[in-house]
Structure 1
Amino acid sequence: MNDCLFFGRNKKPKLIKNESYRITKPIQFENENENENENENENENENEKQIKQISTRNYSTIFLFKNGKAIEYLENSNENPQKIQIEENIQKVTVGNLNEAILTKEGNVFAKGKDINSKNPKEFINISLLIKDTNDRIIEDFVSSRDSIYLLTSNQNAYGIGSNGNCELGFDSETLKKTEKPILMMKNISKIFSGNDSTQVFFLNSNQELFSCGLNDYGQLGLGESRKKEINIQKLTKIQNIPKGKIIDIQCGNYHSII
């Protein structure tokens, strides 16, 4: 396993045992199941034990390893980190406020959360299979916002699922408060950007045109000047006055966005 450092609030049940509540300097983090995993996979290539990605927010943290396996730490659980029981090779993970999602090599997205599966919010379900158009069920990429998840299909169509409390799914929040089935938001999309603590989303099409919707109380969508006039942007709206040039990346915070 490669080196992983931790610092900050170490709330119980602790990510790092026998350490203080507040860790002010980086210390090495070790997976509690590492020795157990080594015994189970004695012949596994050392490179396949390396961390590929980490996604974290208030209530959970997911570690994805290069061998396509993942474990999750839950804040409100006294148990050791749990293996995520997805048989397919995991390629990417994401953690929002109260949702988690996993993208597999086969193009399936498994997700869980109260706005994803209200009947059993702790169970991962394959939300790819819930897309109405069967030709759109292979997922190339995905991102999560604070309360929603966005899917990009192999046909370059963008879908959203989860909460629409701040119009982050591109619909009037009074008409649609949330959806547990992916709904089509835009076509001809090359990239989706959001943040796991944000309520805004950006869609970039193949012509390098950028669209956004969601909460705009501080102008984080790049639309409107007044907090009072345009708090929630209900429809995906094109952002004007972006300098010419290829958009490489967008990072979304709670109250701001950076291109």
Structure 2
Amino acid sequence: MSWRIRMNIDSSIELKPYEILSIPLNRQLNNSWNRSKIQFYLTNSISNRQNLKSLMQTHYHINIKRCLSKETESIITIEKKQKISIESSNFILVCGQNICGQLGLSTTIIERRKPQYLKIVNKLNQDENIQYICAGGMHSCALTITGYVYTWGCNDDGALGRITDDINDEYIPDLFVLPEEIQSLCAGDTFTVALAKSGRAYISGCFRCSEGLLGLFEYKQITQQSIVIPLNQSIKQIACGADFCLLLTENGDLYSFGNNETGQLGRDSHLEPKENSSVWLQPSQISFFHGQHILNIWAGGHGFFVLTQNSTIHLFSCGSNSFGQLGHSLKQPIYLPIEIKEISFVDKIIKISCGLQHTLILDSNGYVYGLGRSDDGRLGNNLINDIIIPKQIDNLTNIIDIAAGGSVSFVINKYGQIYSFGMGDTCQIGHGNEDIFIPTLIKCKQLEKRKIQQISVGAQHTLFLVKEDLN
């Protein structure tokens, strides 16, 4: 059982839209208690949560400071003038567990077995047009076409990038206030990263390790509002695992920071957190890839993949390999990147998606391959043995996108249809709570005459970005 301590904020000042709360770092919530990994959050009932809330509330008084920049003003002006066509809008469907508000639905809703519509509106009560979605471990994020970011779900560690007065605030999508227009999002279990068009990246929350709180840039630090990632290079791509982050710069350098207990930073600093936390928490270059031309990066769970090209294309992986999910036979942590040589189609790889203990690979021919742990149907072949060499998943063709979660998998075909497979306990695969051992089409009224644009999977929930099919 993981206890959630709530923080109430007392203030006589009424907040206006787009105001920013300011809280000194030395007044951050004390997170010295131990907490289990995000995948094992349990809640017995809504009534138990309310009792826990009343017993364990901690009151903080903070100063509220207005911080409305000229850049923010210009964005607001654009939003007021915007008129979104319903026919062309992308919107979000959700399913899975809602015990921490990660579905953005009412506090009375514990779970949804089938995808359900999530309404996100701006301060003018207009429906937002969403261009990208991102699920963290127990929280969710959405990026609008105008560059705004909305967040909702568990905010115990500051992952929402905003102050939440009470539990109800976490269940409502609201603005992650940022000083400039955002072009992409990424999230881990307890943190969120937003990449601006300028090449600057903003982060809120913290990293965690097996001992509990690890910190963000400083040991045991939590940042409840976004701060700039300290890097003197422009960033072009971000990839997040459960408890670490990768940054690919415009210069082609690859940086990492966060937890490194299983080698997920690729920097060979596998010491105890207290002994080496300062090294882990500061973005540092992965020297192994210095001078190499990096084509793409992917991260998830506790490991990552890097695709490079010099004269030929190569695929490297690093991190936790306990079930062979990194494509290596040695089932132990890999602290420095190792090339995967058993993939015959490496030059055709267009995407890799990492679950907690399994991996999906998509090639340019529209085929999907699985690696790692295979029980509970997560590799879609009704297997029970671990897969070390990528195995093609039967009956999947014309696939254009993939998404892997803790113990679940999703694919989208060129017709905008979505198939899922894996463990059904959390209802996040869209087929109720039954395990699905072979890829199965998700059918429900919310998906009729609609095309799936994107999928993002959290620890216990799934987000679907969809669009009306006008054909």
**TM-score normalised by L of structure 1:** 0.83
Corresponding residue of 2:307: 204
Match of 1:10 among 77, 92, 98: 98
Match of 1:179 among 280, 289, 309: 280
Match of 1:125 among 227, 235, 243: 227
Q: 2:230 matched to 1:143?
A: no
Structure 1's 224 and 25: CA in aligned 2 closer, same or farther, altered over 3 A?
Answer: closer
Q: Deviations over 1:90-140 (max 9, x none)?
A: 01111111111010100111112323244333232211xx23xx3xx1011
Q: 2:322 matched to 1:217?
A: yes
Q: 1:61-210 to 2 correspondence within 5 Å?
A: 61-76=140-155, 77-79=167-169, 80-115=172-207, 116-117=216-217, 118-127=220-229, 130-131=230-231, 134=232, 137-170=233-266, 171-174=268-271, 176=276, 179-185=280-286, 186-187=289-290, 188=292, 189-195=294-300, 198-207=301-310, 208-210=313-315
- Distance across 1 between alignment mates of 2:149 and 2:122: 15
Aligned partners of 2:90 and 2:131 also within 8 Å: no
Q: 2:129 matched to 1:27?
A: no
Structure 1's 35 and 254: CA in aligned 2 closer, same or farther, altered over 3 A?
Answer: closer
Tell which has more relative contact order, 1 or 2 (C-alpha 8 A, sep 6+).
2
- Distance across 2 between alignment mates of 1:240 and 1:89: 40
Structure 1's 38 and 20: CA in aligned 2 closer, same or farther, altered over 3 A?
Answer: closer
- Distance across 2 between alignment mates of 1:166 and 1:191: 22
Aligned partners of 1:161 and 1:181 also within 8 Å: yes
Give SS of 2:350's match: coil
Structure ID, larger Rg: 2
Instruction: For residue 210 of structure 1, report the CA deviation from its aligned partner.
Output: 1.1
- Distance across 1 between alignment mates of 2:257 and 2:124: 34
Q: For structure 1, which runs of at least 5 residues remain unmatched after alignment? A: 40-45
Letter in 1 for 2:187: V
Of residues 116-125 and 186-195 in structure 1, the stretch that sits farther from structure 2 once superposed is 116-125
Letter in 2 for 1:15: G
RMSD of the TM alignment (CA)? 2.2
Aligned partners of 2:139 and 2:153 also within 8 Å: yes
Letter in 2 for 1:152: L
- Distance across 2 between alignment mates of 1:121 and 1:18: 25
Letter in 2 for 1:25: K
Instruction: For residue 57 of structure 1, report the CA deviation from its aligned partner.
Output: 2.6
Structure 1's 5 and 19: CA in aligned 2 closer, same or farther, altered over 3 A?
Answer: farther
Structure 1's 84 and 172: CA in aligned 2 closer, same or farther, altered over 3 A?
Answer: same
Corresponding residue of 1:42: none
Give SS of 1:52's match: strand
Give SS of 1:78's match: helix
Aligned partners of 2:193 and 2:201 also within 8 Å: yes
**TM-score normalised by L of structure 2:** 0.47
Corresponding residue of 2:386: none
- Distance across 1 between alignment mates of 2:183 and 2:308: 23
Give SS of 2:141's match: strand
Instruction: For residue 153 of structure 1, report the CA deviation from its aligned partner.
Output: 0.5
Percent same amino acid at aligned positions?
Answer: 27
- Distance across 1 between alignment mates of 2:344 and 2:90: 40
Match of 1:53 among 119, 132, 142: 132
Aligned partners of 1:194 and 1:202 also within 8 Å: yes
- Distance across 2 between alignment mates of 1:69 and 1:59: 21
Q: For structure 2, which runs of at least 5 residues remain unmatched after alignment? A: 1-88, 156-166, 208-215, 362-471
Give SS of 2:168's match: coil
Q: 2:340 matched to 1:239?
A: yes
Letter in 2 for 1:123: Q
Structure 1 runs (4+) deviating above 3 angstroms are 175-178
Structure 1's 174 and 58: CA in aligned 2 closer, same or farther, altered over 3 A?
Answer: same
Aligned partners of 2:100 and 2:153 also within 8 Å: no
Aligned partners of 2:95 and 2:113 also within 8 Å: yes
- Distance across 2 between alignment mates of 1:101 and 1:35: 21
Aligned partners of 1:62 and 1:73 also within 8 Å: yes
Give SS of 2:124's match: helix
Structure in which a larger fraction of residues adopt helix: 2
- Distance across 1 between alignment mates of 2:174 and 2:110: 22
- Distance across 2 between alignment mates of 1:20 and 1:124: 29
